[in-house]
Amino acid sequence: MVATPYGAVRGRYERGIAVFRGIPYAAPPFGLLRFRPPAPPEPWDGIRDAGTFGPTAPKPPYSEAFAPYLSDPVVPGDDCLNLNVWTPDPDPRARLPVLVWVHGGALTRGSSAVPVYDGRAFARDGVVFVSVNYRLGVEGFGLFPDAPPNPGLRDQLAALRWVHESVAAFGGDPDRITLCGQSAGALGVGALLAAPQTQGLVRRAVLQSGAPEAAERAKVRRMVRRMATRLRIPATAEAFAAVDRDLLLRTQAEVGRLSSPVLGGPAFGIVMDGDLVPRDPLAALADGGAAPGVDLLMGWTRDEYRLWLVPGGLTDRVDRLGAVALAGARARCHCGPDVPRGYRALYPGAGTAEIVGQMVTDHLLRVPMHRLADARPGRSYVYEFAWPSGLPGLGACHALELGFVFDSGDVPESRRLAGEGAPRELAEAMHSAWVRFAATGDPGWEAWDATHPVRIFDADAPRTVLGPRDRELALWAPGTGDRVRIPGGPVSRTRSRRLG
Report which of 402, 382, 415, 384 is spatially closest to residue 122, judged by C-alpha positions: 402
Residue 484 backbone dihedrals phi, psi, to 5 degrees: -125, 130
Kind of pairing between the strands at 128-132 and 380-385: unpaired
- The angle formed by the CA atoms of residues 403, 209 and 112, to the nearest 5 degrees, is 50
Whole-angstrom distance, CA of residue 66 vs CA of residue 80 = 24
Residue 161 backbone dihedrals phi, psi, to 5 degrees: -65, -40
Whole-angstrom distance, CA of residue 411 vs CA of residue 404 = 11
Contacts with 264 (C-beta within 8 Å, 6 or more apart), sequence order: 328, 331, 332
Q: Is 398 a catalytic residue?
A: yes
- Distinct helix (H) and strand (E) counts, the chain: 18, 16
Whole-angstrom distance, CA of residue 110 vs CA of residue 61 = 9
Q: 434: part of which helix (H) or strand (E)?
A: helix 424-440
Report which of 258, 259, 251 is spatially closest to residue 229, judged by C-alpha positions: 251
Q: Is 14 a catalytic residue?
A: no
Q: Which of 103, 164, 370, 398 is catalytic?
A: 398
Whole-angstrom distance, CA of residue 56 vs CA of residue 72 = 10
> In 10 A of CB 425, how many CB atoms?
11
One-letter identity of residue 46: G
> In 10 A of CB 421, how many CB atoms?
9
Q: Is 370 a catalytic residue?
A: no
Q: Which of 139, 213, 304, 354 is catalytic?
A: 304
> In 10 A of CB 120, how many CB atoms?
18
- The angle formed by the CA atoms of residues 63, 67 and 70, to the nearest 5 degrees, is 125
Do 180 and 102 form a contact (C-beta atoms < 8 A)? yes
- The size of the chain, in residues, is 500
Q: Which of 183, 260, 408, 414 is catalytic?
A: 183
Do 344 and 273 form a contact (C-beta atoms < 8 A)? no
Whole-angstrom distance, CA of residue 127 vs CA of residue 172 = 8
DSSP E strands in 65-144: the ranges are: 82-87, 96-102, 128-132
Kind of pairing between the strands at 96-102 and 128-132: parallel
Whole-angstrom distance, CA of residue 431 vs CA of residue 425 = 10
Question: Taking every pair of C-alpha atoms in the chain, what is the biggest distance, in angstroms?
Answer: 68
The catalytic residue positions are 183, 304, 398
